[in-house]
Every structure is written in C-alpha cells, then in structure tokens.
Amino acid sequence: MAASAKHRLGFREKLGLYALALLLIGAALLGYLWFALDRYESNTPESSVRRYLQETAAGQWETILRDAEADLSPLDRPEDYTAWLTEVYAGLPEEYTLVRTSGGEGQTYALMDGSREVSRLILTPAPAESGRSWQVRTLAEPLPPVEILAPEGCTVQVNGTPLGSEYRTGSQAAAGYESLPQGYEAPQAEAYRIEGLLMEPEITAVTADGSACAVAAPTEGEVRTVSVTAPVPDAQAGEYWAAAEQAAKTYAAFISSDAGRGELNALLLPGTEFWQAMQEFYNGWYIDHTGYGYENLQRLNLTSAGENAFTAELSFDYLVYRGAREYRYPSRYRLDFLRTANGWKAVRISTL
C-alpha cells in the first residue's frame, strides 16, 4: 500500500515538472514573440520615420549625419545641414501622414501635414550591425553647380575649406576684359567649379598678403557664377580714383556735347567695343545749353583684377544750365581700366 502511494507521488511530481516546463517554454515563446513583434513594429518604415523625426526634434544628430554622409558634399558643413533639417521640421504636428511614392529596395515617402508636403523621405536598408531595418534621409536636391572666378594669387574658400587643384578648371579673362583688341593682354582669373552642394555655400577669398576680397552674389541659372575681386592697395587708390573720375566726367560731358570726341578717346583703350561705339555715337541731338557742372561726387567701390587692371564705381549729379534754369541728372558709372604703355585706359564705361 505504501509503495503504491509512493508511486503515485512520483507520478504527480513528474506531471508537475512537465507542466512547469511547458509553462516556461510557453512563457519563453511568448517573450520571444513579444520581442520579435516589438522589434518588427519599431523597425517598420513608419516607426523608423517617427524615430528620425524625434531625433531631429531633439537635436540628436549623430545617426542622422552618419546616414546622410553619402548625400553631403565634402564642402557642405554639417551644422548647415542640421540647421536646414531643423527649419524643415519646425512646427510639425504630432499627426502627420506618410504617403509612399516609390518602392523597391529604397522607398520614398511624402511627409504630409494635411495637404502640405513637408518633405520627401528616402528609406534604404540599414547595415546589419546598426540594429535597425531602415536608414531615413530627407531628400535634398543639390544646388546648381557654382563657377568661381578669382584674380590670380587669391585663395578661395568654400565654407572655410580652401579650394585645391581638384576644383580648379583653368584660367580665363577676368570679367570685363574678355574681348580686348589684339596686342593687349587681359588680366587672368582662376576658375573653380564646385558641384553637389546641398546647402548655400559661404564663399570667401583673400589675396596673397591676407587682405579680404569682395565676393559677388551668385548669378542665377543652371550654372551660377561668382566673381571675386581683390582690394586696391591704399598706395594706388588715389591714382586709380583720379583716372576714374576724369574718365567718368569726360564721358558725361561728351554725351552733352561739352567735351570733344578726341578728349574722350584720349582716355579710352582704342579698338574695344566701347571705343567703337563712341566713334559712332552722335551727340548733336543734345539740347542747347549755356553751361554744365558736377556735384555730389561719391566714390562707391574700387577693386583690382590684377596689378594691371582695376574697376571703379562712382556717382555724381551732372548739371546742365540753360540760362538761369538748372537740370540735374543723377549719374552712376562703372569703369574698367587696363594699364598700357600710355597709362591707364578705360576698356568700358557702363551706366548703372
């Protein structure tokens, strides 16, 4: 009888252990399934985008910059890129819509705030070691290429990085000196080309002695051009301004028939398009008057395209008198000069 009871007790213990084992196995399976489901849900495209937006809002840039590395040009500054992302997603509501626009290995989504498209997001498979399923990047179209023209000897920097020979495309005549007559050598500008920038660049330049150059705003178009001009040394500024003022005043007086063609020609480089236009210009139409003069002369800008070329911008009021009556004409000019064997000659005078 005792043996039978002992046998039944052993059977119950085994049954309990079996049940416990099943319970543990079930719990483990449930835990694994929960973990797998959680991992799946946390790595769906939607959750990957949500995590990306949370990191952007919190300024957690390490992963975002690493994933965007292939998009950024070596000249793009990370801080400009992150500032742009912050601006793009500023004020994004908690409720937004993701609209898939393309599929395949890489997926593209439009992030919508109501009917407004906030951005386009690109999702690509993440490296296995990252522990994520998707890399998320905001689509940013590269800016048009930029061509930079700078006087010889200047160092050009884009976002603080000096441009090396890999960006240099050659040299060409400086702006304003492209069509000089035969026998005259145009000042040269070094040409650089940068491509693939996502953010608007900060372009600076310095001369060989460290003086800051003037950098014009980029032109618009499929290829944008930036012109760099060097400052004129103080020792030469007086001479340059005197030549510019004389040429501008003589040109204004020639238009009103108060200076002869020979007076103007003496200040111009012969054979240029501007010189030819002045030979054909008829000023006999100008109204009869008894006098002329200049007031309010302003020196606006003086730059160098090399040791043998400079450009000046100035303005003044040109006065014409008819008896007691005064006619005032505000005038502003840009003058490009070239040094010749006979001194400084104006290549072109442009009315601004």
Asked whether residue 244 is domain-assigned, the answer is: yes
Written as tens digits, the pLDDT of the chain (352 aa) is 455 555 555 656 666 666 666 666 655 565 444 444 445 445 688 999 999 999 999 999 999 999 999 899 999 999 999 999 999 999 899 889 999 998 766 799 999 999 999 999 999 998 888 888 899 999 988 999 999 999 989 999 999 999 999 999 999 999 889 999 999 999 999 999 999 999 999 999 999 999 999 999 999 999 999 999 999 999 999 999 999 999 999 999 999 999 999 999 999 999 999 999 999 999 988 889 999 999 999 999 999 998 899 999 999 999 999 999 999 999 999 999 999 999 999 999 999 9
With residue 21 as reference, give the H or E element that holds it.
helix 2-42
pLDDT at 306: 87
pLDDT, position 284: 87
Number of structural domains the chain divides into: 3
Domain annotation covers residue 275: yes
Q: Of 89, 112, 138, which residue constitutes the final position of a domain?
A: 138
Q: Return the CATH number at 301.
A: 3.10.450.50
Say if residue 309 is in the same domain as residue 216.
no
* Last residue in a domain, options 179, 210, 229: 229
In a domain, 1, yes or no: no
Q: Based on the domain organization, do 334 and 245 belong to the same domain?
A: yes
Which strand (E) or helix (H) includes residue 248? helix 234-255
Give pLDDT tens digits for 95-132.
899 999 987 667 999 999 999 999 999 999 988 888 88
Q: What is the pLDDT of residue 20?
A: 64
The pLDDT score that the predictor gives to residue 44 is: 87
Residue 33 lies in a domain: no
Pick the last residue of a domain from 138, 165, 199: 138
Asked whether residue 218 falls in the same domain as residue 129, the answer is no
Strand locations in the chain (E): 97-102, 107-113, 116-125, 134-138, 146-151, 155-158, 161-162, 168-173, 188-194, 203-206, 214-215, 224-231, 291-306, 309-322, 325-340, 343-351
Does 12 reside within a domain? no
pTM metric for this prediction: 0.71
In a domain, 30, yes or no: no
Beta bridge partners of residue 282, listed in sequence order: none
The verdict on 193 and 297 lying in the same domain is no
Q: Which amino acid is at 80?
A: D
Do 154 and 131 sit in the same domain of this protein? no
- Give the rounded distance of the alpha carbon of 346 from its chain centre: 33
Distances (CA, A) of 95 to 50, 92, 112, 190: 11, 8, 9, 52
**Structural domain of 268:** 234-351
pLDDT value of position 318? 98
Same domain, 252 and 345: yes
Tell me: the pLDDT tens digits for 159-175? 999 999 999 999 999 98
Residue 290 neighbours by CB distance under 10 Å = 10
**Residue 344 shares a structural domain with residue 253:** yes
Pair 165, 171: CB distance under 8 Å? no
Same domain assignment for residues 63 and 82: yes
Q: Which residues pair with 278 in a beta bridge?
A: none
pLDDT tens digits along 73-93 = 999 999 999 999 999 999 899
Q: Are residues 239 and 347 in the same domain?
A: yes
Residues 190, 104 share a domain: no
Judge whether 178 lies within some domain: yes
pLDDT of residue 163: 97
Whether 277 and 330 map to the same domain: the answer is yes
Residue 32, in any domain of the structure: no
Quick one: 223 and 239 in the same domain? no
